[in-house]
Structure 1
Amino acid sequence: MSITLTGTLTDQDQLTLRTAAWGAVSLMSAASAAGSAHRAGTEGAIALTSATGPVGHVLAKAPKGVKWGRSVAELADQVLPALTASMALLKRQAPDEAGNFRDTVTVAVEAAARLHEGEPSPTVAAMAAKIAAALDA
């Protein structure tokens, strides 16, 4: 386990990272067609648990105790700011891991969107763009 990142980040900081990454997968799952929502979530989760480096250690488990809300709008209200906060936090406290976090979330979003199997639906593409914008804010 990376002492550098987990030693640098508080439990709350790590929860923010987990909420952001796992929440992004949840948003992609919610944006997917009814028949593929479970598959989108599974593919995204596999990507997160396959992450390496210090970020991989933090994202290896889903956040506990997070209430995701009752609608996609409530979920987005929580997750999109957490993505932006996570990037700012990592740039400030673990700059070498900011790119790793962004890349990991991007791979998870792409896996959930199944971009390699053709064009995503407009809904899925729009959600992926919102997640990318939050990461880059």
Structure 2
Amino acid sequence: MTVELTLTDQDKATLRTAAYGAVSLLVAAGATGSPHRIATRGSIALFSATGQVGHVLAAKSKIEGLDGRSAAELADRVLPALTAAMALLKEQDPAEADNFRATVLVAVEEAVRSLKGGPGPAMNEMIRKITVALDAA
């Protein structure tokens, strides 16, 4: 049986900020590959999500706050959003929380697949921070 999520517009914005922000953090981490390719591959992975989380992530809406001037400014917004999204989903439907976590991590993995030689130390550290934020709830 699937539990219907009760999400406000603000809740949906938090989920979108968290997920798409995780991909933006990878770009901000100073990838040596094409930032456009990283962003595109990660976003396509998020857009292909399923379940109720998939419906939220696929919604056509502007995502506020992903235009930070630095990785630190972006992380200040995105990492807490990842934790908040997980807490919100765990409270309503743990299966959807697992779906969200898996979706974000698949997007992160897909985003870095375009890098020749794999992610460098800065990007690996950003991936670690994203994972820690997801698991903090």
TM-score above 0.5: yes
2:38 counterpart (29, 37, 40): 40
Of the structure 1 ranges 117-126 and 103-112, higher mean CA displacement relative to structure 2 is found in 117-126
Q: Which runs of 4+ in 1 moved over 2 A?
A: 32-35, 115-119
Counterpart residue number, 1:16: 14
Whose helix proportion is higher, 1 or 2?
1
* 1-structure distance, mates of 2:60, 2:74: 15
* 1-structure distance, mates of 2:77, 2:60: 15
* 2-structure distance, mates of 1:96, 1:87: 11
Of the structure 1 ranges 120-129 and 79-88, higher mean CA displacement relative to structure 2 is found in 120-129
* Letter aligned with residue 54 of structure 2: G
Counterpart residue number, 1:123: 122
* 1-structure distance, mates of 2:61, 2:125: 25
* 1-structure distance, mates of 2:135, 2:4: 24
* 2-structure distance, mates of 1:50, 1:41: 14
Q: Secondary structure in 2 aligned to 1:66?
A: coil
State, as a whole percentage, how many aligned pairs show the same letter. Answer: 64
C-alpha displacement of 1:3: 8.8
Structure 2: 5+ residue stretches without partners: none
| Aligned positions, number | 134
* 1-structure distance, mates of 2:57, 2:71: 22
Could you tell me the TM-score, scaled by structure 2's length?
A: 0.88
Alignment of 1:17-96 (within 5 A): 17-61=15-59, 64=62, 66-68=64-66, 69-96=68-95
RMSD over aligned CA atoms reads: 2.1
Structure 1: 5+ residue stretches without partners: none
The question of whether the paired residues in 2 share the 8 Å contact of 1:25 and 1:41 is answered with yes
Of the structure 1 ranges 65-74 and 79-88, higher mean CA displacement relative to structure 2 is found in 65-74
Could you tell me the TM-score, scaled by structure 1's length?
A: 0.88
